[in-house]
Amino acid sequence: MAKPAKKIGRYKILSELGRGAMGVVYKADDPNLDRTVALKTISLEKDAEGRADYQKRFMLEAKAAGKLNHANIVTTYDFGEVDGMAYLAMELLEGTDLRKRVQQGAIPPVEAVEIGCQVAEGLAYAHGRGIVHRDIKPANIMLPERGPAKIMDFGLARMRLADHKTSTGIVLGTPRYMSPEQISGQPVDQRSDIFSLGIVLWEMLTGRRLFSGTEMAQVSHSITYDEHEPPTRVNPELPAMLDFVVARALKKDPAVRYQDADEMAADLHTCLAEMRAREDEEPGEGTRTQKLSVDGEPTIVGPPAAAILTDTRLPVSRHFDSTAALKRLGKSARGRAPRPVGLLRRIISDAPARRLFVVTVLGAAAGSFVAFI
């Protein structure tokens, strides 16, 4: 077994943070700037035939990542090659990655949507500079102890307009989080990252794996042909708009998917505002404040008794006082029930009614006269 490295380039190795298929990530000290960094390494000697390709991909990653300066993307400080090993010095974050968090179950909806917003905004920034991540998954999303979520490992990122392109049939990325076009080896763009983020968002909201399977063929078939279950069917407490956002992000056809991450981030912000408003509107009925009296006995402090009474009046009726009208009615009645008004009394006392009666009689007479002529 090889002895662990004590120094790589100018960086002093402090501990090992993790291992991947292509290399090791160390916690290291940068003596030039007096700061601690995460040092990602790739051994170029393990595959002599593929060394040139690995080296080219790694350097491309460094150049691409070095252009990105955003609150939701891990900062890249330096890159280089020494003794058959390429290295990349990055911002060291204290916290946990989203993979470990999701393994514990569904994330609270508001927090899950917040993370989705932050990742979408980071992707929008990268996409705007021609960089596609190609490997968005929970393990590549860091949740620092303080601050927003950050996208890690642009190890498979490519410049859309660069000369170096993936060969036909070579699939790059993590199968379970790939887009249909990525699975089939077709050219990919920013919409592939959006599909992957849709999978991550679904898993955060439900606490389940979306495209499961024990073999690559099963996973590939599910991603290409199987429709997902709406998140609200798994968790009815979620707002219905999240079904729309997830469904649009997971469209099999890139042409009808979200066309850019900014658009997805905007819809997620709308969902977040709705969810927070719903939380604010939740009634606090049944809550009481309990305080101790002088003798130590608890005293229940609740709303005033008058506030408990229910006002059943219609909103408009609150602006009218019927007391005066009732007094006038009482005076006119003089303690007796009002007498019915007869037709003859109405004709004699009411001028309009009298005129109507005269016109009606004259009209009837004229009609009779014409009938008998």
DSSP-derived letter for residue 73 is B
Task: Answer for the pair 85, 8: CB distance below 8 angstroms, yes or no.
Answer: yes
State the pLDDT at residue 373. Answer: 67
Residues 47 and 149 in one domain: no
Q: What is the mean pLDDT of the chain?
A: 79
Q: What's the whole-model pTM score?
A: 0.70
Residues 119 and 26 in one domain: no
Cα–Cα distance, 176 to 138 (Å, whole number): 11
Q: What is the CATH number of the domain that holds 14?
A: 3.30.200.20
Residue 44 belongs to domain spanning: 7-92
**CA-to-CA separations, 10 to 32, 61, 158, in angstroms, rounded:** 8, 20, 28
Residues 87 and 140 in one domain: no
What are residue 159's DSSP bridge partners?
A: 131
Residues 59 and 169 in one domain: no
Q: Give the position of tokens 């708009």.
A: 241
Catalytic, 47? Answer no
Task: Answer for the pair 37, 79: CB distance below 8 angstroms, yes or no.
Answer: no
Please state which of the ranges 3-17, 303-317, 342-356 shows the lowest mean pLDDT. Answer: 303-317
Residues 167 and 206 in one domain: yes
Q: What is the mean pLDDT of residues 130-153?
A: 92
Residue 365 resides in a domain = no
Which of 248, 280, 312 is at the close of a domain?
280
Residues 190 and 201 in one domain: yes
For 146-206, strand residue ranges (E) read 150-151, 158-159
Share of the chain above pLDDT 70, in %: 71
Cα–Cα distance, 7 to 331 (Å, whole number): 106
Higher-confidence residue of 273 and 85: namely 273
Task: Answer for the pair 69, 63: CB distance below 8 angstroms, yes or no.
Answer: no
Residue 317 resides in a domain = no
Q: Give the position of tokens 């969810």.
A: 275
State the pLDDT at residue 283. Answer: 60
Task: Answer for the pair 39, 12: CB distance below 8 angstroms, yes or no.
Answer: no
State the pLDDT at residue 178. Answer: 93
Residues 110 and 79 in one domain: no
**CA-to-CA separations, 20 to 42, 89, 180, 240, 351, in angstroms, rounded:** 9, 16, 25, 38, 103
Residues 19 and 128 in one domain: no
Which of 41, 65, 92 is at the close of a domain?
92
Residue 101 resides in a domain = yes
Q: Which of 78, 97, 135, 267 is catalytic?
A: 135
Number of separate domains in the chain: 2
Q: What is the CATH number of the domain that holds 112?
A: 1.10.510.10
Residues 85 and 35 in one domain: yes
Burial 24-55 (b: 16+ CB within 10 A, else e): bbbebbbeeeeeebbbbbbebeeeeeeeeebe
Residues 86 and 196 in one domain: no
147-203 per-position pLDDT tens digit: 999 998 875 554 433 333 444 444 455 789 999 999 998 989 999 999 999 999 999
Task: Answer for the pair 271, 246: CB distance below 8 angstroms, yes or no.
Answer: no
Residue 347 resides in a domain = no
What are residue 95's DSSP bridge partners?
A: 144
For 67-121, strand residue ranges (E) read 76-82, 85-91, 95-97
State the pLDDT at residue 318. Answer: 43
Residues 74 and 219 in one domain: no
Which of 252, 280, 308 is at the close of a domain?
280
Residue 290 resides in a domain = no
Residues 139 and 72 in one domain: no
| C-alpha 1: how far from chain center | 46
